[in-house]
Amino acid sequence: MGQPVLAEVVAPAGECCSVAPSGALIEFAENNRATGFASEYTSPAGNRYHDITANRGPIYSDGPLGVDHHGGCSEIGCLLQAVDAEGLDGLGGDMVTIRNRPPNSPIPPGPPVGLGTPATPCDMCEDVLDANGINY
Ligand SMILES: [Zn+2]
């Protein structure tokens, strides 16, 4: 969108999150504006995957992530990409999530609630992350 990367204006990791969002994650959100969140997942091998909140269909407990989930969260999109690329060895890494905002959102970027603000995974995602040994 031609806007400056927000890495410098976003506060460092605070009460909610153990890891500050990377400039790459913020840039990904700026280039994929939508209502919801954006996540960056780093697999144990060091590969990075990005995704946003999207209607990608449910996942089930008999699938690779082992937990039922509606599938819409950005975290799930990242993990499905990682499993596609690396198989189950791709699980067990680190997840970082930030708020995303649609184009023309009246909410200014950055904290307290704008694009780039660190966010905590929802309860359903926490179940998936915990079950797969993923830090967040
Ligand atoms: Zn979630």
Cα-to-centroid distance, 128 and ligand 1 (Å): 9
User: pTM of the predicted model, to two decimals?
Assistant: 0.87
| Amino acid type, 52 | I
What percent of the chain is modeled with pLDDT above 70? Answer: 87
Domains annotated on the chain, with CATH:
23-131 (3.40.140)
Cα-to-centroid distance, 2 and ligand 1 (Å): 29
Q: Specify the pLDDT at position 19.
A: 72
**Residue written as token pair 């999207």:** 54
Q: Is the pLDDT of residue 90 over 50?
A: yes
Q: Specify the pLDDT at position 104.
A: 93
Q: What is the pLDDT of residues 20-45, one digit of tens each?
A: 889 999 999 999 999 999 999 999 99
For residue 83, give the H/E element and its range: helix 74-86
Cα-to-centroid distance, 122 and ligand 1 (Å): 4
Length reported for the chain: 136
Q: Which residues contact 69 (CB under 8 A, 6 or more apart)?
A: 58, 59, 76, 124, 125, 127, 128
Cα-to-centroid distance, 53 and ligand 1 (Å): 9
Give the pLDDT band of residue 13 (cuts 50, 70, 90): very low
Cα-to-centroid distance, 133 and ligand 1 (Å): 16
Query: If you ran DSSP here, which 8-state letter would residue 62 be given?
Result: T
